[in-house]
């Protein structure tokens, strides 16, 4: 369901990135490992259609998103890809609930408060439903950002260094939650990281 083929991206004529081909089946969970500056984030942006490759293609759910553009691409991303960032960012003017309903409506889905409540409960932050984002701790924010990545039950969840800012205890907890939830929603999970703590926990690994 995720397949990349001959993917390259040129930052400039000197800096050219070439990515290995790989594919993931539905529901599979994999790790992309690499040191800083080797193009991990670039790959993640290529996979989510935030960047256009110079060559090669990115197939998600049998659609080549490298050929998509404009609102079609934005729409596809919103509906099919959930992203967890290293640092959780939100619309600060909104509450947790409003951030999640906005995620639903921007993806073209209808508002589903029950689903949001259930997700927050699964992630242990159900009491924060109506809280403002600036009232949350770093760990709580990361959990809410996982909830946001999952709220539309996307086909693909991309996580960019989700654990590198966390201590061992939280690292395990967050990883466990992401993997559990991805499995529950039958989403393919791809984690991009340089965090070696995760290395042994995944069978499928792509080294950059």
Partner 1 sequence: MNILKLSWKNITSKPLPSILSMLLLAVGLSTAIILKLTEHQLTENINNTGKDVKLVIGAKGSRLQLVLSSVFQIDNPTGNITYGFYTLLKRNRMIKEMIPVSMGDSYKRKRIVGTNQDYVRLFSGKLKEGVLFEKPLEATIGIAVATELGLKVGDEFVGGHGMEEVLHSHDEYKYKVVGVLRRSGSVLDNLILTPVQTVWIMHAGHGDDSEYTLGAGDKSMHTPEEVVEDSLSQMAKEHNHEHHHHDHHDHVEVNLESVLANIDPKDREITAILFPNFSGNAKIGVLNNANNQPNMMAVDPAPEIMLLKNKLTPFVSIIIAISWFITIIAMFSVFIGLLNSLRGRKYEIALMRVLGASKAKVLVSILFEGVILSVLGYILCLVLSHAGMELIGNWMQNEYQYEFTGWIFLRSELTYLLVAIAIGLVSALFPAYKAYKTDISETLSK
Binding site for partner 1 (CB under 8 A): 41, 45, 48, 50-51, 70-71, 74-75, 77-79, 83, 85, 89-94, 98, 101-108, 111, 148
With respect to partner 1, which residue has the nearer C-beta, 98 or 172? Answer: 98
With respect to partner 1, which residue has the nearer C-beta, 106 or 171? Answer: 106
Please state at what angle helix 138-150 crosses helix 113-122, rounded to 10 degrees.
130
Neighbours of 99 (CB within 10 A): 20
Nearest one of 177, 181, 136, 180 to 154, comparing CA atoms:
181
Q: How far is the CB of 192 from partner 1 (least distance, A)?
A: 13
- Residue 185 contacts residue 80 (beta carbons within 8 Å): no
Give the three-class secondary structure for 9.
strand
Q: How far is the CB of 188 from partner 1 (least distance, A)?
A: 18
Q: How far is the CB of 157 from partner 1 (least distance, A)?
A: 13
With respect to partner 1, which residue has the nearer C-beta, 79 or 197? Answer: 79
Give the three-class secondary structure for 76.
helix
With respect to partner 1, which residue has the nearer C-beta, 19 or 90? Answer: 90
């Amino acid at each position: 369901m995720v397949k990349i083929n001959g993917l390259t991206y040129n930052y400039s004529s000197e800096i050219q990135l070439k990515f290995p081909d790989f594919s993931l089946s539905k529901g599979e969970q994999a790790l992309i490992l690499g040191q800083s500056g080797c193009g991990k984030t670039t790959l993640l942006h290529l996979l989510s259609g935030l960047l256009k490759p110079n060559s090669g293609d990115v197939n998600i759910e049998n659609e080549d998103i490298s050929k998509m553009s404009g609102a079609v691409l934005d729409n596809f991303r919103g509906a099919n890809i959930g992203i967890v960032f290293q640092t959780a960012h939100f619309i600060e003017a909104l509450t947790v609930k409003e951030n999640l309903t906005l995620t639903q409506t921007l993806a073209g889905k209808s508002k589903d408060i029950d689903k949001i409540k259930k997700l927050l409960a699964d992630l242990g932050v159900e009491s924060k439903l109506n809280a403002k984002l600036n009232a949350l701790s770093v760990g709580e924010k990361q959990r809410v950002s996982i909830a946001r990545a999952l709220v539309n039950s996307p086909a693909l969840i991309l996580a960019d260094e989700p654990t590198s800012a966390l201590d061992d205890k939280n690292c395990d907890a967050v990883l466990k939650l992401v993997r559990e939830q991805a499995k529950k929603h039958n989403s393919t999970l791809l984690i991009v990281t340089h965090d070696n703590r995760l290395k042994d926990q995944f069978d499928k690994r792509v080294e950059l």
